[in-house]
């Protein structure tokens, strides 16, 4: 393979805290290795439209602590079509970009995998998503920050729940995976945690809630992942109110607040490490892969495997959370 001289970097899909730290690491590692580096704005949409700008060391000064992404992000329907991908490839050729670092999640890597196969173009991905649902890394960029955001909010809500003898249902992100719900629920001492990976039995949950309230509890927190098959927090709260009418229930949906904010120290270090390794990987011939860290070791996982393989939720931790909430 011809030696890489110019690389592009972009963020795509949903934003996550730590993306800026990853961009910073990619840019400065590339420059250190004598490469020109170009920022691509608004993900695949910007690549199609030619929104490309050369970046320098000072371009990424004072961004490691910032949430969101300075390169903006978007979801691209045009990139789904071959004509859109062809235009994106033509943009890369116009700027003489030899390889690409794509920071994002499932959608980003699905597009990258197809693009690599069609145009034989080197791409390495960084797992930038708060959901932590990508196979091939212990933690994704933004996951730790999102958990801490949920815990901070839940702690405040518990103060009100305790003061008013109420049961709060807090809905967190997690359409297909319950990683945010599980970790944050344990950390804030939630009475119950509802996740997509397990079946929520209405009558059983109602029985447990009724038992808790008759026993010794006057307030509580139930963390509900948005993808729980019983429905979102409003639907769960409605069903519980019907089953246990004596409960004074309230609902809080945290929504996109979980995506924003200054990244935690963990996410800054993780993003910096992965950004650094992505450039090294490209120079060593890695392509069509996501770079991650498992057991403190850098690993490269093919895009198809990172997307299609399911990362298992720790069911023992879910059981532990219930025991500790007694």
H or E segment to which residue 240 belongs: helix 233-243
Q: Crossing angle for the helix pair 179-187 and 143-164, nearest 10 degrees?
A: 50
The sign of the dihedral angle between the CA atoms of 282, 283, 284, 285 is: positive
Other Cβ atoms within 10 Å of 190 Cβ, number: 26
- Helix ranges (H only) for 33-137 are 43-49, 82-94, 106-119
Active-site choice (131, 133, 212, 267): 131
> Residue 2 has what DSSP assignment?
P
Nearest to 4 by CA among 41, 40, 29: 29
**Shortest CA distance to 125 belongs to which of 303, 310, 311?**
303
Q: Which residues contact 107 (CB under 8 A, 6 or more apart)?
A: 12, 13, 75
Sheet containing 297-302, strands listed edge to edge, beginning at the edge strand earlier in sequence: 52-55, 36-40, 6-11, 99-104, 123-127, 289-294, 297-302
Are β-strands 249-253 and 220-225 bridged in parallel, bridged antiparallel, or unpaired?
Answer: unpaired
User: 290-301 burial, b for 16+ CB within 10 Å, e for fewer?
Assistant: bbbbeeeeeebb
Does residue 176 have an active-site annotation? no
3-state secondary structure of 316: helix
**Phi and psi angles of residue 255, each rounded to the nearest 5 degrees, phi first:** 55, -140
Q: How many residues does the chain have?
A: 326
Q: Which two tokens stand for residue 227?
A: 């993808």
Catalytic annotation, residues? 131
């Amino acid at each position: 393979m011809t030696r890489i001289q110019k690389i592009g970097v972009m963020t795509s899909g949903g934003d996550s805290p730590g993306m800026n730290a990853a961009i910073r690491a990619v840019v400065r590692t590339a420059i250190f290795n004598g490469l020109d580096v170009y920022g691509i704005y608004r993900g695949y949409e910007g690549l199609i439209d030619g929104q490309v700008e050369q970046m320098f060391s000072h371009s990424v000064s004072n961004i490691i602590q910032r949430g969101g992404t300075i390169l903006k992000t978007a979801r691209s329907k045009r990139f789904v079509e071959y004509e859109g991908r062809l235009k994106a490839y033509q943009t890369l050729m116009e700027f003489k970009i030899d390889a690409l670092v794509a920071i994002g999640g499932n959608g980003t890597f699905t597009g990258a995998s197809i693009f690599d196969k069609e145009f034989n173009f080197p791409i390495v991905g960084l797992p930038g998503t708060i959901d932590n649902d990508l196979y091939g890394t212990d933690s994704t960029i933004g996951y730790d920050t999102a958990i801490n955001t949920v815990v901070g909010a839940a702690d405040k809500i518990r103060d009100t729940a305790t003061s008013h003898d109420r049961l709060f249902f807090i809905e967190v992100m997690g359409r297909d995976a319950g990683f945010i719900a599980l970790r944050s629920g344990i950390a804030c001492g939630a009475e119950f945690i509802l996740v997509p990976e397990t079946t929520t039995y209405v009558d059983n949950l109602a029985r447990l809630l009724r038992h808790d309230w008759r026993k010794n509890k006057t307030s509580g927190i139930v963390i509900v992942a948005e993808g729980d098959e019983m429905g979102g927090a409003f639907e769960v709260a409605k069903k519980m109110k019907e089953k246990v009418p004596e409960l004074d229930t309230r609902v809080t949906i945290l929504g996109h607040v979980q995506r924003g904010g200054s990244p935690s120290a963990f996410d800054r270090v993780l993003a910096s490490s992965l950004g650094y390794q992505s450039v090294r990987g490209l120079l060593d011939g890695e392509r069509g892969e996501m770079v991650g860290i498992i057991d403190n070791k850098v690993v490269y996982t093919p895009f198809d495997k990172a997307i299609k393989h399911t990362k298992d939720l720790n069911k023992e931790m879910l059981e532990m959370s219930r025991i500790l909430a007694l």
